[in-house]
Amino acid sequence: MRNAGGALPSRHVLGNYELFEEIGRGGMGIVYRALDLSLDRIVAIKILRDDLRAHQSIVTRFSREAQAAARLDHPNIVQIYSVGAVDRTPYIAMEFVDALPLSAVMQREHRLEWKAALTIARQIAEALACAHDSHVIHRDVKPPNILLDDHHRAYVTDFGIAKILTLDDNLTVDGTRLGTPHYMAPERCKNGEVTAASDIYSLGVMMFQMLTGRLPYEASSPVEMVQRIISEPPARVRQYVEEVPEDIERLVAWLMELNPRHRPKDGHTVCNAIDRVQAGQPLDANEPRTIVAIDEFRKHLAADTASNKTTVSDVTRVSRMRRAIAAAVSIIALTVFGVTAWRAAQPAAPASNAGNPAAWFSASELATFGDEGENVTMSELQLPGYALLSLSPAGADGSVAALVEQHGASGKRVLCVVSPNTKTASVRFVSTPSARFEMLATVGAMSGSIFDGHGLVGTAGGVSLVSLREPSQPIVVSNTAESVSVAGMHPSGAQWAAPVIDSAGSASLSVAALANGRIEASQIVPPGPRIVHIQYSRDGQQIAYVRETGAGLFALYVVPVGGAVTEPVPIRTGRISLAPGAFNADASAILICVERDDGSPAVEVVSTGDAGSTAEFARALRGAWEPRSGDVVMSAPDSKGEVQLYRASLDATDHRTQLTFLDGGTDRALLVSPDGQSATTFAAATPKPSVLFASLAQ
């Protein structure tokens, strides 16, 4: 039994409840799965945090708000069974729901199909309608407080928690002030009256996120975020996902109106609107607030697109207004959220360079570096409006190549190289909308190689060998008209492997190298189904590749670089992919990412000799070898459903050391530096693309 945070007494029995494992934690305390001994049923027990128990006013409100929420009886609300205290330990016993937080589902799926998003949103609206009918305001509607089971049934939890904590201005939650500004309504950001409309706004933000995979506002600090929420209309859903029906975009805009009087008056109105959209009917043309919301939304967008006609006096007037708003918001943000609610704002880039990647070549201001907890460094790229797509090794020194893409229709891509040792970053390539590129493979394993820090970049017109460390002329290694989307590089950089597509659409595997100023290639695997992953072993003697086999299944093969042209027997089949840095040091084992039959993820260790699985890391999303110790570094969800980095040995796969504790979690992407000194990923919920480096030093 874990006792993190001191929230659990030393014994495993609390009154009439036998406590089992921890299943979650939040601002108020820790949640355990438990057995109600008197009724012989499984329940969830939330125990108030030790430091909060010292505040009698909090203990009193904890009980009062829980009792108010216990009156709510709805299939989409987690039912509260009882409230009490044992040996001065306050607790809430509630319905146990075998489900994941919506935040974890979004982390896994990125975005949802619009019909599924509407179904979930309607259930949440029904739950809020029930609460609002009983004069209960949630105040903290956000994905971590929505549970989603395997049948996409939604459950709303943690009613009243926000009110309990915000009534005491001196309290903090896990080192940060209460509040998730991304989901907060404008009136709450201004310390105004919180009403049912505030919950409706938060539901609108969640709908936007489910539909697009992103949040409607981006900002570099809490002050800027709050300023934008209270003064600017949100982004359009169809700006990011064009296939979403326009009526759904209008519905989200209605829910997120800046003026609470212009939003749907309650959850029942939201349900009715969703029913119309799901039935293929337009939003109620007789509802005046719908028309006003849409008209105002469009006017704001028109004003934005006409910004090139703004006069100097207009700019001066707007700047003064924004400075006044910023001054007021600064006080509100520091009071409501506290300075630690967000990472300290980094110095802004020069005005002439901000958001203009072409001006950042070799510029030291491209990224800011700062500590993000013990042994974790964050590099924030000063490219607002861009999102990280992928990370690749960029050298034996631990540098990484970060590929970012601009939001919106242009889809401009920028390749940046970030060096944690020197705390510098620079842009290597900027694409045009008509000529985007992919980072196929990089060299970063053999220090001293003349190709150290080189990589293969693929475009629709072929593949080029480029330097990621300094400006240089790319070397075209293939000018095939077929777009190449996968390749692998020998750790020395002197050789690479890629599929060759024949006229029938079959893919063979070939290796190529520069020799005497010419590119010489040879086929090592005969044609077959599409190849989706390729990696060399660390000594460059073997290649692992994955083929499609149909019905969403894949097969993993390992071949010697100089072997005969034969297709070997697969060593693993299923819903699998190669983990980054798949081969261990002596190439005796490979890490693969697996989707099991029940849909849950795992990382497996597969022997390259006897083709058997030797270890499994359950619930892990990605894995990579730490080359010095043979440990495995992985990305996996924590107790809140947010992805973090962990480290574990093959001898104790369930005993994991957590490396990151990032609010909002990390992405599932993962790299381990060639020297094993650091693990790299990127933050999942930051306004600018941010790369994380976690130290692996023992």
Identify which has the larger pLDDT, 453 or 18.
Answer: 18
363: tokens are 């510029």
Q: Where are the beta strands (DSSP E) in 17-106?
A: 17-25, 29-36, 41-48, 80-86, 89-95, 100-101
Mean pLDDT of 142-165: 79
- pLDDT at position 653 over 90: no
Q: What is the pLDDT of residue 602?
A: 94
Indicate the pLDDT class of residue 162, thresholds 50, 70 and 90.
Answer: very low
Mean pLDDT of 60-88: 83
At residue 282, φ and ψ (nearest 5 deg) are: -70, 160
Mean pLDDT of 348-376: 61
Identify which has the larger pLDDT, 611 or 452.
Answer: 452
Q: Give Cβ neighbours of residue 139 (< 8 Å, ≥ 6 apart).
A: 160, 161, 162, 163, 166, 188, 194, 198, 199
> In order of start, what are the domains of the chain with their CATH numbers?
12-95 (3.30.200.20), 99-294 (1.10.510.10), 380-433 (no CATH), 459-619 (2.40.128), 631-692 (no CATH)
Cβ neighbours, 10 Å, residue 361: 13
CA distance 156 to 423: 43
Burial (Cβ within 10 Å: 0-12, 13-18, ≥19) of residue 153: middle
Query: End-to-end CA distance of the chain, in Å?
Result: 26
Which has the closest alpha carbon to 380: 409, 358, 404, 353?
404
195: tokens are 């009403």
At residue 384, φ and ψ (nearest 5 deg) are: -60, 140
654: tokens are 């369930």
Indicate the pLDDT class of residue 222, thresholds 50, 70 and 90.
Answer: low
Mean pLDDT of 231-253: 91
- pLDDT at position 508 over 80: yes
Tokens 């000018």 correspond to what residue? 479
- pLDDT at position 401 over 60: yes
Mean pLDDT of 250-263: 92
- pLDDT at position 525 over 80: yes
CA angle 600, 602, 603 (to 5 degrees): 165
Q: What is the pLDDT of residue 522?
A: 87
117: tokens are 């998003």
Cβ atoms of 595 and 620 within 8 Å: the answer is no
Cβ atoms of 680 and 693 within 8 Å: the answer is yes
Helix (H) or strand (E) holding 292: helix 288-305
Mean pLDDT of 683-696: 88
CA distance 134 to 668: 41
CA distance 683 to 667: 6
CA distance 586 to 435: 40
Identify which has the larger pLDDT, 5 or 409.
Answer: 409
For every residue of 634-649, DSSP letters joined together read EEEE-TTS-EEEEEEE
CA distance 142 to 102: 9
Cβ atoms of 692 and 387 within 8 Å: the answer is no
Q: What is the pLDDT of residue 466?
A: 78
Q: What is the pLDDT of residue 347?
A: 29
Q: What is the pLDDT of residue 663?
A: 83
Mean pLDDT of 588-599: 91
Helix (H) or strand (E) holding 371: strand 367-371
What is the separation of C-alpha 394 from the centre of its chain, rounded to a whole number of angstroms?
A: 23
Indicate the pLDDT class of residue 177, thresholds 50, 70 and 90.
Answer: very low
- pLDDT at position 698 over 70: no
Burial (Cβ within 10 Å: 0-12, 13-18, ≥19) of residue 678: buried
| pTM recorded for the entire structure | 0.52
Identify which has the larger pLDDT, 91 or 175.
Answer: 91
Q: What is the pLDDT of residue 589?
A: 92
Q: What is the pLDDT of residue 413?
A: 85
DSSP state of 13: E
- Of the chain, the percentage scoring pLDDT greater than 90 comes to 31
Q: What is the pLDDT of residue 624?
A: 94
- pLDDT at position 582 over 50: yes
- pLDDT at position 453 over 90: no
Q: Where are the beta strands (DSSP E) in 69-180?
A: 80-86, 89-95, 100-101, 146-148, 154-156
Indicate the pLDDT class of residue 611, thresholds 50, 70 and 90.
Answer: low
- pLDDT at position 5 over 70: no
Q: What is the pLDDT of residue 535?
A: 92
Q: What is the pLDDT of residue 482?
A: 54
Positive/negative CA dihedral, 61, 67, 69, 75: positive
CA distance 617 to 620: 6
- pLDDT at position 609 over 70: yes
* Rg from Cα positions in the chain: 27
| Greatest mean pLDDT among 44-58, 197-211, 548-562, 601-615 | 197-211
Q: What is the pLDDT of residue 317?
A: 39
- Of the chain, the percentage scoring pLDDT greater than 70 comes to 76
What's the chain's length in residues? 698
- pLDDT at position 677 over 60: yes
Residue type, 105: V
Which has the closest alpha carbon to 636: 617, 651, 655, 649?
617
DSSP state of 677: S
Whole-Å CA distances, 471 to 239, 243, 417, 474? 34, 40, 12, 9
- pLDDT at position 623 over 60: yes
Mean pLDDT of 251-278: 91
Q: What is the pLDDT of residue 551?
A: 86
Q: What is the pLDDT of residue 17?
A: 92
- pLDDT at position 328 over 60: no
Q: Which residues of 529-565 are buried (b: 16+ CB within 10 A; e: fewer)?
A: ebbbbbbbbbbbebbbbbbeeeeeebbbbbbebeeee
CA distance 407 to 414: 12
Q: What is the mean pLDDT of the chain?
A: 78
Q: What is the pLDDT of residue 289?
A: 45
Tokens 């859903």 correspond to what residue? 237
Mean pLDDT of 37-45: 92
| Cross-strand partners of 85 | 90
Helices (H), 168-245: 186-189, 196-212, 222-231
- pLDDT at position 149 over 80: yes
CB-facing half-sphere around the CA of 449: CA atoms within 13 A? 23
Decide the pairing of beta strands 601-607 and 613-618.
Answer: antiparallel
Tokens 């933050």 correspond to what residue? 683
Which has the closest alpha carbon to 687: 385, 407, 417?
385
Q: What is the pLDDT of residue 555?
A: 94
For every residue of 406-428, DSSP letters joined together read ESSSS--EEEEEEETTTTEEEEE
